[in-house]
Chains A and B, each alone.
Chain A
Amino acid sequence: MPDRYPGYDVLAKRHTPSWNETTRRVIDQRLAIPREPRFFTEDEWLTLNAVCDRIVPQPASRPPIPVVAMVDDKMIHNKTDGYRNAKLPKMQDAWRRGLRALDEAARTRHGGRFHTISATEQDSLLAKMQRGELDNVAWGDMPCKLFFGERLTHDIVAAYYSHPTSWNEIGFGGPASPRGYVRMGFDRHDPWEPAEAGRHAG
Protein backbone atom coordinates (compact mmCIF):
# COMPACT_ATOMS: atom_id res chain seq x y z
CA MET A 1 0.00 0.00 0.00
CA PRO A 2 1.55 3.36 -0.99
CA ASP A 3 2.27 5.69 1.92
CA ARG A 4 0.22 8.78 1.19
CA TYR A 5 1.45 10.64 4.26
CA PRO A 6 5.11 9.69 4.54
CA GLY A 7 6.67 10.33 7.92
CA TYR A 8 3.34 11.24 9.51
CA ASP A 9 2.80 9.81 12.99
CA VAL A 10 -0.23 11.17 14.80
CA LEU A 11 1.20 9.95 18.12
CA ALA A 12 4.00 12.49 17.73
CA LYS A 13 1.36 15.09 18.66
CA ARG A 14 1.28 13.71 22.18
CA HIS A 15 3.29 16.55 23.70
CA THR A 16 2.18 19.37 21.40
CA PRO A 17 -0.66 21.86 22.03
CA SER A 18 -2.90 19.55 19.95
CA TRP A 19 -3.32 17.19 22.90
CA ASN A 20 -3.97 17.69 26.56
CA GLU A 21 -4.19 15.38 29.56
CA THR A 22 -7.65 14.13 28.57
CA THR A 23 -6.59 13.41 25.01
CA ARG A 24 -3.57 11.47 26.20
CA ARG A 25 -5.66 9.45 28.64
CA VAL A 26 -8.28 8.53 26.03
CA ILE A 27 -5.71 7.49 23.43
CA ASP A 28 -3.68 5.55 26.02
CA GLN A 29 -6.79 3.61 27.05
CA ARG A 30 -7.54 2.81 23.43
CA LEU A 31 -4.02 1.56 22.77
CA ALA A 32 -4.07 -0.55 25.94
CA ILE A 33 -7.14 -2.65 25.01
CA PRO A 34 -6.33 -6.28 25.92
CA ARG A 35 -5.89 -8.46 22.85
CA GLU A 36 -7.87 -11.39 24.15
CA PRO A 37 -11.57 -12.29 24.24
CA ARG A 38 -13.45 -10.83 27.17
CA PHE A 39 -16.99 -10.60 25.79
CA PHE A 40 -16.81 -13.06 22.91
CA THR A 41 -16.25 -16.78 23.37
CA GLU A 42 -13.15 -18.41 21.86
CA ASP A 43 -15.28 -19.66 18.95
CA GLU A 44 -16.89 -16.27 18.30
CA TRP A 45 -13.47 -14.61 18.52
CA LEU A 46 -12.04 -16.91 15.83
CA THR A 47 -15.00 -16.27 13.54
CA LEU A 48 -14.89 -12.49 14.06
CA ASN A 49 -11.14 -12.52 13.44
CA ALA A 50 -11.67 -14.18 10.08
CA VAL A 51 -14.50 -11.75 9.21
CA CYS A 52 -12.31 -8.73 10.06
CA ASP A 53 -9.55 -10.05 7.82
CA ARG A 54 -12.00 -9.94 4.89
CA ILE A 55 -13.67 -6.58 5.73
CA VAL A 56 -10.54 -4.61 6.65
CA PRO A 57 -7.52 -6.57 5.36
CA GLN A 58 -4.27 -5.19 6.73
CA PRO A 59 -0.78 -4.93 5.22
CA ALA A 60 1.98 -7.14 6.61
CA SER A 61 4.35 -4.16 6.60
CA ARG A 62 3.12 -2.76 9.93
CA PRO A 63 1.78 -4.05 13.23
CA PRO A 64 -1.92 -4.85 12.71
CA ILE A 65 -4.71 -2.83 14.27
CA PRO A 66 -6.38 -5.11 16.88
CA VAL A 67 -9.82 -4.72 15.31
CA VAL A 68 -11.34 -7.81 16.96
CA ALA A 69 -10.16 -6.73 20.41
CA MET A 70 -11.60 -3.27 19.81
CA VAL A 71 -15.01 -4.67 18.82
CA ASP A 72 -14.81 -6.97 21.87
CA ASP A 73 -14.07 -3.93 24.04
CA LYS A 74 -17.14 -2.18 22.66
CA MET A 75 -19.23 -5.24 23.58
CA ILE A 76 -17.86 -5.85 27.09
CA HIS A 77 -18.60 -2.25 28.04
CA ASN A 78 -21.81 -2.28 25.99
CA LYS A 79 -20.84 1.02 24.33
CA THR A 80 -23.88 1.28 22.09
CA ASP A 81 -24.37 3.98 19.47
CA GLY A 82 -27.43 5.22 21.31
CA TYR A 83 -29.71 4.12 18.50
CA ARG A 84 -30.41 0.96 16.53
CA ASN A 85 -32.65 -0.40 13.84
CA ALA A 86 -35.69 -1.84 15.66
CA LYS A 87 -35.56 -4.91 13.45
CA LEU A 88 -32.21 -5.85 14.98
CA PRO A 89 -31.76 -7.25 18.49
CA LYS A 90 -29.71 -5.27 21.00
CA MET A 91 -26.05 -4.82 20.00
CA GLN A 92 -24.52 -7.61 22.10
CA ASP A 93 -27.29 -10.09 21.20
CA ALA A 94 -27.10 -9.22 17.52
CA TRP A 95 -23.35 -9.93 17.43
CA ARG A 96 -23.63 -13.25 19.24
CA ARG A 97 -26.46 -14.43 17.04
CA GLY A 98 -24.87 -13.13 13.83
CA LEU A 99 -21.49 -14.79 14.39
CA ARG A 100 -23.10 -18.09 15.36
CA ALA A 101 -25.36 -17.97 12.29
CA LEU A 102 -22.44 -17.16 9.98
CA ASP A 103 -20.45 -20.10 11.39
CA GLU A 104 -23.47 -22.35 10.93
CA ALA A 105 -23.85 -21.20 7.31
CA ALA A 106 -20.15 -21.97 6.70
CA ARG A 107 -20.58 -25.50 8.05
CA THR A 108 -23.70 -26.30 6.04
CA ARG A 109 -22.54 -24.74 2.76
CA HIS A 110 -18.76 -25.32 2.85
CA GLY A 111 -18.33 -28.08 5.40
CA GLY A 112 -16.15 -26.23 7.91
CA ARG A 113 -16.13 -23.43 10.42
CA PHE A 114 -15.93 -19.92 8.99
CA HIS A 115 -12.29 -19.32 9.94
CA THR A 116 -11.21 -22.62 8.32
CA ILE A 117 -12.74 -22.25 4.87
CA SER A 118 -10.97 -20.50 1.99
CA ALA A 119 -10.97 -16.72 1.52
CA THR A 120 -13.07 -17.10 -1.63
CA GLU A 121 -15.66 -19.12 0.26
CA GLN A 122 -15.63 -16.60 3.09
CA ASP A 123 -16.19 -13.75 0.62
CA SER A 124 -19.04 -15.59 -1.04
CA LEU A 125 -20.73 -16.12 2.35
CA LEU A 126 -20.28 -12.48 3.35
CA ALA A 127 -21.65 -11.39 -0.04
CA LYS A 128 -24.70 -13.59 0.47
CA MET A 129 -25.18 -12.07 3.91
CA GLN A 130 -24.97 -8.59 2.39
CA ARG A 131 -27.64 -9.49 -0.20
CA GLY A 132 -29.89 -11.04 2.44
CA GLU A 133 -29.54 -14.60 1.03
CA LEU A 134 -28.56 -16.44 4.24
CA ASP A 135 -31.60 -17.91 5.94
CA ASN A 136 -30.36 -20.74 8.16
CA VAL A 137 -32.29 -21.15 11.40
CA ALA A 138 -29.68 -19.52 13.65
CA TRP A 139 -30.54 -16.09 12.21
CA GLY A 140 -33.98 -16.32 13.78
CA ASP A 141 -35.97 -13.19 13.02
CA MET A 142 -32.83 -11.11 12.43
CA PRO A 143 -32.46 -10.08 8.76
CA CYS A 144 -28.86 -11.00 7.81
CA LYS A 145 -28.76 -8.11 5.37
CA LEU A 146 -29.47 -5.61 8.16
CA PHE A 147 -26.95 -7.29 10.44
CA PHE A 148 -24.30 -6.97 7.72
CA GLY A 149 -24.99 -3.33 6.92
CA GLU A 150 -25.88 -1.88 10.27
CA ARG A 151 -23.93 -3.99 12.77
CA LEU A 152 -21.08 -6.02 11.30
CA THR A 153 -19.47 -3.53 8.89
CA HIS A 154 -20.54 -0.58 11.04
CA ASP A 155 -18.72 -1.80 14.15
CA ILE A 156 -15.69 -3.28 12.39
CA VAL A 157 -14.97 -0.22 10.25
CA ALA A 158 -15.59 2.16 13.18
CA ALA A 159 -13.13 0.16 15.30
CA TYR A 160 -10.52 0.16 12.52
CA TYR A 161 -10.69 3.91 11.99
CA SER A 162 -10.65 4.77 15.66
CA HIS A 163 -7.08 3.51 15.89
CA PRO A 164 -4.13 5.93 15.47
CA THR A 165 -2.46 3.59 12.96
CA SER A 166 -5.33 4.08 10.52
CA TRP A 167 -5.19 7.85 11.12
CA ASN A 168 -1.60 7.82 9.89
CA GLU A 169 -2.75 6.00 6.74
CA ILE A 170 -5.50 8.46 5.85
CA GLY A 171 -3.77 11.59 7.15
CA PHE A 172 -6.34 12.24 9.84
CA GLY A 173 -5.23 14.69 12.50
CA GLY A 174 -6.66 12.71 15.38
CA PRO A 175 -8.74 14.23 18.15
CA ALA A 176 -9.52 17.90 17.46
CA SER A 177 -9.26 18.58 21.15
CA PRO A 178 -8.01 20.84 22.45
CA ARG A 179 -6.49 22.08 19.20
CA GLY A 180 -8.87 21.82 16.27
CA TYR A 181 -8.91 23.38 12.84
CA VAL A 182 -8.48 27.00 11.81
CA ARG A 183 -8.25 26.94 8.03
CA MET A 184 -11.58 25.47 7.02
CA GLY A 185 -11.75 26.30 3.31
CA PHE A 186 -11.45 23.74 0.52
CA ASP A 187 -7.88 22.60 -0.07
CA ARG A 188 -6.53 24.54 2.92
CA HIS A 189 -4.81 22.98 5.85
CA ASP A 190 -3.25 24.03 9.14
CA PRO A 191 0.49 23.66 9.76
CA TRP A 192 -0.23 20.98 12.36
CA GLU A 193 -2.11 18.83 9.84
CA PRO A 194 -0.28 16.15 7.83
CA ALA A 195 0.77 16.96 4.28
CA GLU A 196 -0.24 14.56 1.52
CA ALA A 197 2.65 13.27 -0.60
CA GLY A 198 2.94 14.72 -4.09
CA ARG A 199 0.49 17.52 -3.44
CA HIS A 200 1.49 21.09 -4.07
CA ALA A 201 1.26 23.43 -1.15
CA GLY A 202 -1.70 25.71 -1.03
Chain B
Amino acid sequence: MGQTRNSELGALELGALGLGALGLGALGLVALGVLGALAARGPRASGSNARAATSTPRPAASSWPGLSLPSTHGRSCVDGRVKPGHDGGTPSVKAARRLNTAAGLLATSVLADSAVEHYRGSFNNRAMYTPLVTAALTLAISGHGVGDKRPGAHILRDITYLLAGLTGLAGTGFHFYNVGKRPGGFSWLNLFYGSPLGAPFALLLSGVLGFTAERVRENKPGVTPRIFGLPAGRAMAALTALGMLGTVGEAGLLHFRGAYQNPAMFLPITVPPIASGLLANVAMGSRDTNRWFTRWWLRLTALLGLAGVGFHTYGVSRAMGGWRNWSQNVLDGPPLPAPPSFTGLALAGLAALGLLRDHPDA
Protein backbone atom coordinates (compact mmCIF):
# COMPACT_ATOMS: atom_id res chain seq x y z
CA MET B 1 0.00 0.00 0.00
CA GLY B 2 2.49 2.51 1.24
CA GLN B 3 4.91 1.63 -1.46
CA THR B 4 2.38 2.14 -4.24
CA ARG B 5 1.45 5.54 -2.93
CA ASN B 6 5.09 6.37 -2.62
CA SER B 7 5.99 5.51 -6.18
CA GLU B 8 2.96 7.36 -7.48
CA LEU B 9 4.06 10.43 -5.63
CA GLY B 10 7.55 10.06 -7.04
CA ALA B 11 6.26 9.77 -10.58
CA LEU B 12 4.01 12.77 -10.07
CA GLU B 13 6.82 14.92 -8.76
CA LEU B 14 9.15 13.75 -11.48
CA GLY B 15 6.55 14.54 -14.08
CA ALA B 16 5.94 17.97 -12.66
CA LEU B 17 9.64 18.66 -12.56
CA GLY B 18 10.22 17.37 -16.06
CA LEU B 19 7.51 19.71 -17.27
CA GLY B 20 9.09 22.54 -15.31
CA ALA B 21 12.52 21.88 -16.77
CA LEU B 22 11.13 21.62 -20.28
CA GLY B 23 9.16 24.79 -19.65
CA LEU B 24 12.28 26.66 -18.56
CA GLY B 25 14.15 25.55 -21.63
CA ALA B 26 11.29 26.24 -23.98
CA LEU B 27 10.55 29.58 -22.33
CA GLY B 28 13.50 31.33 -23.91
CA LEU B 29 12.98 29.97 -27.39
CA VAL B 30 9.23 30.50 -27.38
CA ALA B 31 9.51 34.00 -25.97
CA LEU B 32 12.15 34.91 -28.51
CA GLY B 33 10.07 33.49 -31.33
CA VAL B 34 6.65 34.83 -30.35
CA LEU B 35 7.83 38.27 -29.30
CA GLY B 36 9.99 38.44 -32.38
CA ALA B 37 7.10 37.60 -34.66
CA LEU B 38 4.86 40.14 -32.92
CA ALA B 39 7.49 42.84 -33.11
CA ALA B 40 8.11 42.13 -36.76
CA ARG B 41 4.48 42.34 -37.74
CA GLY B 42 3.34 45.07 -35.37
CA PRO B 43 4.70 48.21 -37.01
CA ARG B 44 3.97 47.11 -40.55
CA ALA B 45 0.40 46.07 -39.90
CA SER B 46 -0.38 49.49 -38.48
CA GLY B 47 0.57 51.33 -41.68
CA SER B 48 -1.94 52.02 -44.46
CA ASN B 49 -0.01 50.04 -47.06
CA ALA B 50 0.56 47.16 -44.71
CA ARG B 51 -0.93 44.72 -47.15
CA ALA B 52 1.54 45.60 -49.84
CA ALA B 53 4.46 45.21 -47.46
CA THR B 54 3.41 41.90 -45.97
CA SER B 55 2.13 40.30 -49.13
CA THR B 56 5.67 39.83 -50.43
CA PRO B 57 6.58 36.23 -49.75
CA ARG B 58 9.26 36.21 -47.10
CA PRO B 59 12.02 33.66 -47.24
CA ALA B 60 12.73 31.85 -44.02
CA ALA B 61 14.83 34.10 -41.83
CA SER B 62 18.26 32.68 -41.21
CA SER B 63 18.81 34.26 -37.83
CA TRP B 64 20.04 30.96 -36.42
CA PRO B 65 23.59 30.75 -37.67
CA GLY B 66 24.15 27.53 -35.83
CA LEU B 67 21.28 25.78 -37.52
CA SER B 68 21.37 27.05 -41.06
CA LEU B 69 24.39 27.64 -43.23
CA PRO B 70 24.71 31.30 -44.13
CA SER B 71 24.01 31.62 -47.81
CA THR B 72 24.83 34.43 -50.16
CA HIS B 73 22.77 32.81 -52.88
CA GLY B 74 20.34 35.16 -54.53
CA ARG B 75 21.28 38.34 -52.75
CA SER B 76 23.98 40.92 -52.80
CA CYS B 77 26.70 41.24 -50.21
CA VAL B 78 26.48 45.01 -50.14
CA ASP B 79 24.12 46.72 -47.72
CA GLY B 80 22.92 49.30 -50.17
CA ARG B 81 21.51 46.78 -52.60
CA VAL B 82 19.61 44.72 -50.10
CA LYS B 83 16.11 45.97 -49.42
CA PRO B 84 15.25 46.10 -45.71
CA GLY B 85 12.54 43.64 -44.80
CA HIS B 86 13.88 40.96 -47.11
CA ASP B 87 15.86 37.97 -46.01
CA GLY B 88 16.39 39.22 -42.46
CA GLY B 89 17.45 42.74 -43.41
CA THR B 90 20.83 44.22 -44.26
CA PRO B 91 23.96 42.40 -43.10
CA SER B 92 24.16 44.82 -40.16
CA VAL B 93 20.58 44.15 -39.14
CA LYS B 94 21.10 40.43 -39.56
CA ALA B 95 24.18 40.51 -37.35
CA ALA B 96 22.30 42.64 -34.83
CA ARG B 97 19.43 40.16 -34.74
CA ARG B 98 21.83 37.31 -34.18
CA LEU B 99 23.34 39.28 -31.31
CA ASN B 100 19.80 39.79 -29.98
CA THR B 101 19.38 36.02 -30.08
CA ALA B 102 22.65 35.54 -28.21
CA ALA B 103 21.70 38.18 -25.63
CA GLY B 104 18.28 36.57 -25.22
CA LEU B 105 19.77 33.14 -24.68
CA LEU B 106 22.16 34.47 -22.05
CA ALA B 107 19.26 36.27 -20.39
CA THR B 108 17.26 33.01 -20.35
CA SER B 109 20.17 31.27 -18.68
CA VAL B 110 20.45 34.06 -16.10
CA LEU B 111 16.70 34.15 -15.52
CA ALA B 112 16.48 30.44 -14.75
CA ASP B 113 19.78 30.25 -12.88
CA SER B 114 19.16 33.25 -10.65
CA ALA B 115 15.59 32.08 -10.01
CA VAL B 116 16.82 28.71 -8.74
CA GLU B 117 19.85 29.99 -6.85
CA HIS B 118 18.13 32.99 -5.27
CA TYR B 119 15.20 30.78 -4.26
CA ARG B 120 17.82 28.64 -2.58
CA GLY B 121 19.03 31.79 -0.86
CA SER B 122 15.41 32.36 0.30
CA PHE B 123 15.49 35.80 -1.38
CA ASN B 124 17.13 36.90 1.83
CA ASN B 125 17.91 40.27 0.31
CA ARG B 126 15.24 42.12 -1.68
CA ALA B 127 17.88 42.89 -4.31
CA MET B 128 17.90 39.19 -5.13
CA TYR B 129 14.71 39.69 -7.15
CA THR B 130 16.44 42.18 -9.44
CA PRO B 131 18.12 39.75 -11.86
CA LEU B 132 14.82 37.92 -12.35
CA VAL B 133 13.07 41.09 -13.42
CA THR B 134 15.95 42.40 -15.50
CA ALA B 135 16.68 39.09 -17.19
CA ALA B 136 12.99 38.62 -18.03
CA LEU B 137 12.87 42.12 -19.54
CA THR B 138 16.09 41.44 -21.45
CA LEU B 139 14.67 38.20 -22.78
CA ALA B 140 11.49 39.94 -23.93
CA ILE B 141 13.31 42.85 -25.54
CA SER B 142 15.71 40.43 -27.25
CA GLY B 143 12.68 38.72 -28.77
CA HIS B 144 11.63 42.14 -30.01
CA GLY B 145 15.07 42.65 -31.53
CA VAL B 146 15.12 39.24 -33.19
CA GLY B 147 11.82 39.98 -34.88
CA ASP B 148 12.66 43.54 -35.83
CA LYS B 149 14.19 43.68 -39.30
CA ARG B 150 14.45 47.43 -39.53
CA PRO B 151 17.76 49.19 -39.25
CA GLY B 152 18.34 51.73 -36.50
CA ALA B 153 18.60 51.34 -32.74
CA HIS B 154 15.50 51.15 -30.59
CA ILE B 155 15.35 53.30 -27.49
CA LEU B 156 13.57 50.68 -25.36
CA ARG B 157 16.05 47.99 -26.36
CA ASP B 158 18.93 50.32 -25.57
CA ILE B 159 17.50 51.15 -22.14
CA THR B 160 16.77 47.50 -21.34
CA TYR B 161 20.21 46.29 -22.38
CA LEU B 162 21.84 49.11 -20.41
CA LEU B 163 19.74 48.09 -17.42
CA ALA B 164 20.84 44.47 -17.84
CA GLY B 165 24.47 45.51 -18.04
CA LEU B 166 24.18 47.70 -14.95
CA THR B 167 22.35 44.94 -13.06
CA GLY B 168 25.12 42.53 -14.02
CA LEU B 169 27.74 44.98 -12.77
CA ALA B 170 25.88 45.68 -9.54
CA GLY B 171 25.30 41.95 -9.06
CA THR B 172 28.98 41.24 -9.46
CA GLY B 173 29.62 43.90 -6.81
CA PHE B 174 27.04 42.35 -4.48
CA HIS B 175 28.51 38.90 -4.95
CA PHE B 176 32.06 40.17 -4.28
CA TYR B 177 30.74 41.86 -1.14
CA ASN B 178 29.01 38.64 -0.04
CA VAL B 179 32.13 36.53 -0.48
CA GLY B 180 34.37 39.16 1.12
CA LYS B 181 32.28 39.52 4.26
CA ARG B 182 32.30 35.78 4.99
CA PRO B 183 34.78 34.62 7.62
CA GLY B 184 38.01 33.94 5.77
CA GLY B 185 37.27 36.45 3.00
CA PHE B 186 38.34 35.43 -0.48
CA SER B 187 39.36 31.91 0.42
CA TRP B 188 38.80 28.90 -1.82
CA LEU B 189 36.01 27.77 0.50
CA ASN B 190 34.10 31.02 0.14
CA LEU B 191 34.74 31.21 -3.60
CA PHE B 192 33.23 27.75 -3.86
CA TYR B 193 30.28 28.14 -1.54
CA GLY B 194 29.61 31.87 -1.36
CA SER B 195 27.69 33.80 -4.00
CA PRO B 196 29.19 32.80 -7.36
CA LEU B 197 31.27 35.75 -8.55
CA GLY B 198 30.91 34.84 -12.20
CA ALA B 199 27.14 34.38 -12.32
CA PRO B 200 26.04 38.04 -12.63
CA PHE B 201 28.75 38.39 -15.28
CA ALA B 202 26.43 36.50 -17.66
CA LEU B 203 23.79 39.21 -17.29
CA LEU B 204 26.44 41.86 -17.87
CA LEU B 205 27.44 40.01 -21.03
CA SER B 206 23.82 39.76 -22.15
CA GLY B 207 23.46 43.52 -21.72
CA VAL B 208 26.73 44.25 -23.51
CA LEU B 209 25.86 41.93 -26.42
CA GLY B 210 22.41 43.50 -26.72
CA PHE B 211 23.80 47.02 -26.52
CA THR B 212 26.34 46.06 -29.18
CA ALA B 213 23.48 44.73 -31.32
CA GLU B 214 21.93 48.19 -31.26
CA ARG B 215 25.24 49.83 -32.24
CA VAL B 216 25.64 47.38 -35.11
CA ARG B 217 22.07 48.03 -36.24
CA GLU B 218 22.68 51.79 -36.25
CA ASN B 219 25.07 51.51 -39.17
CA LYS B 220 23.75 53.03 -42.36
CA PRO B 221 23.28 50.63 -45.26
CA GLY B 222 26.18 50.71 -47.67
CA VAL B 223 28.92 51.59 -45.21
CA THR B 224 31.20 49.23 -43.34
CA PRO B 225 29.60 48.70 -39.89
CA ARG B 226 31.53 50.10 -36.95
CA ILE B 227 31.00 50.19 -33.20
CA PHE B 228 32.38 53.20 -31.38
CA GLY B 229 34.73 53.72 -34.29
CA LEU B 230 35.97 50.12 -34.26
CA PRO B 231 35.24 47.65 -37.03
CA ALA B 232 32.03 45.99 -35.81
CA GLY B 233 32.79 42.38 -36.72
CA ARG B 234 36.19 42.37 -35.07
CA ALA B 235 34.86 44.20 -32.01
CA MET B 236 32.08 41.61 -31.63
CA ALA B 237 34.60 38.81 -31.96
CA ALA B 238 36.88 40.35 -29.33
CA LEU B 239 34.01 40.93 -26.94
CA THR B 240 32.78 37.36 -27.35
CA ALA B 241 36.29 35.99 -26.86
CA LEU B 242 36.58 37.84 -23.54
CA GLY B 243 33.09 36.84 -22.43
CA MET B 244 33.85 33.24 -23.24
CA LEU B 245 36.98 33.37 -21.08
CA GLY B 246 35.02 34.79 -18.13
CA THR B 247 32.43 32.03 -18.44
CA VAL B 248 35.20 29.43 -18.70
CA GLY B 249 36.61 30.82 -15.43
CA GLU B 250 33.27 30.29 -13.69
CA ALA B 251 32.81 26.77 -15.06
CA GLY B 252 36.44 25.95 -14.28
CA LEU B 253 36.14 27.08 -10.66
CA LEU B 254 32.93 25.16 -10.02
CA HIS B 255 34.06 22.04 -11.86
CA PHE B 256 37.28 22.17 -9.84
CA ARG B 257 35.06 22.29 -6.75
CA GLY B 258 33.39 19.18 -8.18
CA ALA B 259 36.86 17.58 -8.48
CA TYR B 260 36.25 16.88 -12.19
CA GLN B 261 34.74 13.62 -10.97
CA ASN B 262 33.25 13.05 -14.41
CA PRO B 263 35.63 13.40 -17.39
CA ALA B 264 32.93 15.35 -19.25
CA MET B 265 33.52 18.13 -16.73
CA PHE B 266 36.72 18.94 -18.61
CA LEU B 267 34.76 19.81 -21.78
CA PRO B 268 33.78 23.38 -20.79
CA ILE B 269 37.39 24.20 -19.91
CA THR B 270 38.75 22.79 -23.17
CA VAL B 271 36.26 23.47 -25.97
CA PRO B 272 35.28 27.12 -25.20
CA PRO B 273 38.85 28.34 -24.52
CA ILE B 274 39.77 27.18 -28.01
CA ALA B 275 36.70 28.98 -29.35
CA SER B 276 37.85 32.05 -27.45
CA GLY B 277 41.31 31.81 -29.00
CA LEU B 278 39.85 31.40 -32.47
CA LEU B 279 37.66 34.46 -31.93
CA ALA B 280 40.65 36.45 -30.70
CA ASN B 281 42.31 35.50 -33.95
CA VAL B 282 39.23 36.70 -35.83
CA ALA B 283 39.45 40.01 -33.94
CA MET B 284 43.13 40.56 -34.61
CA GLY B 285 44.06 38.24 -37.48
CA SER B 286 44.23 38.89 -41.17
CA ARG B 287 41.22 39.93 -43.23
CA ASP B 288 40.90 37.25 -45.84
CA THR B 289 41.24 34.05 -43.83
CA ASN B 290 38.69 31.33 -44.42
CA ARG B 291 37.07 30.90 -41.03
CA TRP B 292 35.37 27.57 -41.62
CA PHE B 293 37.13 25.92 -38.66
CA THR B 294 36.19 28.76 -36.32
CA ARG B 295 32.60 28.53 -37.53
CA TRP B 296 32.36 24.83 -36.89
CA TRP B 297 34.17 25.10 -33.56
CA LEU B 298 31.66 27.74 -32.47
CA ARG B 299 28.83 25.43 -33.50
CA LEU B 300 30.44 22.72 -31.41
CA THR B 301 30.62 25.14 -28.48
CA ALA B 302 26.96 26.05 -28.96
CA LEU B 303 26.06 22.38 -28.95
CA LEU B 304 28.18 21.80 -25.86
CA GLY B 305 26.18 24.47 -24.01
CA LEU B 306 22.98 22.58 -24.72
CA ALA B 307 24.55 19.20 -24.00
CA GLY B 308 25.66 20.64 -20.65
CA VAL B 309 22.03 20.78 -19.55
CA GLY B 310 21.86 17.05 -20.28
CA PHE B 311 25.06 16.37 -18.35
CA HIS B 312 23.77 18.41 -15.41
CA THR B 313 20.44 16.57 -15.54
CA TYR B 314 22.41 13.35 -15.23
CA GLY B 315 24.40 14.90 -12.37
CA VAL B 316 21.20 15.64 -10.46
CA SER B 317 20.05 12.05 -10.95
CA ARG B 318 23.35 10.79 -9.50
CA ALA B 319 22.91 12.58 -6.17
CA MET B 320 21.33 10.69 -3.28
CA GLY B 321 17.61 10.28 -3.90
CA GLY B 322 18.05 11.25 -7.55
CA TRP B 323 15.29 13.19 -9.27
CA ARG B 324 12.76 12.06 -6.70
CA ASN B 325 14.75 14.18 -4.24
CA TRP B 326 14.71 17.10 -6.66
CA SER B 327 13.89 19.71 -4.02
CA GLN B 328 17.37 19.14 -2.63
CA ASN B 329 19.31 17.90 -5.64
CA VAL B 330 18.28 20.57 -8.15
CA LEU B 331 19.51 23.19 -5.69
CA ASP B 332 22.57 21.32 -4.45
CA GLY B 333 23.47 19.61 -7.70
CA PRO B 334 24.98 21.02 -10.88
CA PRO B 335 23.01 24.10 -12.05
CA LEU B 336 20.77 23.06 -14.95
CA PRO B 337 20.44 26.49 -16.60
CA ALA B 338 24.13 27.49 -16.46
CA PRO B 339 25.69 25.72 -19.49
CA PRO B 340 23.59 27.46 -22.21
CA SER B 341 25.63 30.59 -21.47
CA PHE B 342 28.22 29.00 -23.74
CA THR B 343 25.58 28.58 -26.44
CA GLY B 344 24.67 32.25 -26.19
CA LEU B 345 28.29 33.30 -26.52
CA ALA B 346 28.92 30.92 -29.39
CA LEU B 347 25.94 32.43 -31.22
CA ALA B 348 27.43 35.87 -30.66
CA GLY B 349 30.69 34.64 -32.15
CA LEU B 350 28.83 33.24 -35.15
CA ALA B 351 27.07 36.59 -35.51
CA ALA B 352 30.49 38.24 -35.73
CA LEU B 353 31.61 35.73 -38.36
CA GLY B 354 28.42 36.26 -40.33
CA LEU B 355 28.92 40.01 -40.36
CA LEU B 356 32.54 39.56 -41.42
CA ARG B 357 31.45 37.32 -44.27
CA ASP B 358 29.16 40.07 -45.54
CA HIS B 359 31.60 42.87 -44.71
CA PRO B 360 35.18 41.61 -44.75
CA ASP B 361 36.38 44.98 -43.44
CA ALA B 362 33.98 45.09 -40.51
* Residues of A bordering B, CB below 8 Å: 14-17, 20-21, 24, 177-183, 188, 190-192, 202
Contacts and interface: CB of A to CB of B under 8 A. Distances in A.
Nearest to B328: A179
A183 B122 CA distance: 8
Question: At the interface, is chain A mostly helix, strand, loop or mixed?
Answer: loop
A133 to B, nearest CB: 45
Contacts of B121: 183
A33 B70 CA distance: 74
A188 B321 contact: no
Contact of A191 (B2, B324, B325, B327): B327
Given A15-B5, A15-B9, A179 B325 contact: yes
Contact of A17 (B13, B122, B124, B331): B13
Given A15-B6, A17-B13, A179 B327 contact: yes
Interface centre among B3, B5, B120, B328 (most CB of A within 10 A): B328
A189 B115 CA distance: 18
Contacts of B321: 17, 20, 178-179
B325 A178 contact: yes
Interface in B305-362: 320-321, 324-328, 331-332
20 contacts: A15-B6, A15-B9, A16-B9, A17-B10, A17-B325, A17-B326, A17-B327, A20-B321, A24-B2, A178-B320, A178-B324, A178-B325, A180-B320, A181-B328, A182-B120, A182-B328, A188-B124, A191-B327, A192-B327, A202-B122
A183 B120 contact: yes
A132 to B, nearest CB: 41
A65 B124 CA distance: 38
Contacts of A202: 122, 124
Contacts of B10: 17
Contacts of A14: 2
The 5 closest A-B CB pairs, nearest first, are A178-B321, A178-B320, A17-B325, A182-B331, A179-B328
Which of A14, A178, A192 has the most chain B CB within a 10 Å cutoff?
A178
